[in-house]
Amino acid sequence: MSTIPSVTLNNGAEIPQLGFGVWQVPDAEATPAVRAAIEAGYRSIDTAAIYENEVGTGQAVAEAGVPREELYITTKLWNSGTEDWSGQAGKDAVRKAFDESLGKLGLDYVDLYLIHWPRPMHGTFLNVWEGVTELLADGRVKSVGVSNFGIPQLETLLKESSVVPVLNQVELHPYFPQQELRDFQAQHGIATEAWSPLGQGGALLAEPELVKIAEKHGRTVTQVVLRWHLQSGVIAIPKSVTPSRIRENLDVAGFELDAADLAAIAGVATGVRIGPDPQSFDWN
């Protein structure tokens, strides 16, 4: 089993720096995939209400034979649930959505609960955040954070709320390294977590410069990219349903990217997103 470092969050909690994501994994496949991940050594599992696999994920956690306190489980609040996220109705909707997620997972608590998208055009994310932070009081949520928030939304939370998000989960990979956002978050004690840390569609994994680095170290390109995340201080949550790939993704100890490697990886950045722009994304 590889030794994966942990990141200490701003509330003192620790999260493994390399976790297992289940985006686009059907519910029936989530159980064997998550079970294989836990058996391989993953201790952080990331799901979301919109993924529709919280039941399968929770079943795997129940079957894993690993003490619950050794696992770090994240899920996320989806955009729907009410037409109006403002006022008390919005906060009640947050609690209802959380209760549904917790029930599907079959857990007494989750380690991290995130707002999935900010939807800034509605002007309600601050109220949603207040609803999320209220969940901390009864202990069924250990930490709260956000996903896909930009600097303007984070500035609002920092100004208006007494609770600072422990992390922001965003699209981040060598093509789209998000350096400005990462710098801002580091200044304010907000950890950065990467979704799609390996990009999508395989283009990144065929990038010639990355292939050269992989050959130099006798590693796969996937391992090189995940090593880049770790050395950058970023939390990464790759996903796979193939047991051999699940194990491969975890095996990123035992080698170090040098300055030349890091410069070459920086050189492949395009600044182009794969996913939607959070500032305009409004899917319900």
Summarised one tens digit per residue, pLDDT across range 202-246 is 999 999 999 999 999 999 999 999 999 999 999 999 999 999 999
Integer distance in angstroms from the first to the last C-alpha of the chain?
40
Is residue 79 helix, strand or coil? coil
- Decide if 125 contacts 168 (C-beta within 8 A): no
Task: Tell me how many degrees the CA angle 266-269-271 measures, rounded to the nearest 5.
Answer: 140
Rounded Cα distance between 98 and 114, Å, is: 10
Give the whole-number percent of the chain exceeding pLDDT 90. Answer: 94
HEC-encoded secondary structure of 97-111: HHHHHHHHHCCCCEE
Candidates 42, 51, 113, 175; catalytic one: 51
113 is catalytic: no
* Residues 232, 230: Cα–Cα separation, whole Å: 5
Is pLDDT of 115 > 90?
yes
The string of pLDDT tens digits covering residues 239-269 is 999 999 999 999 999 999 999 999 999 999 9
Confidence band, pLDDT 50/70/90 cuts, at residue 3:
confident
The span from the CA of 236 to the CA of 215, in Å, is 22
Round to whole Å and give the CA distance between 254 and 76: 33
Is 98 a residue whose pLDDT tops 60? Answer: yes
* Global confidence as pTM: 0.97
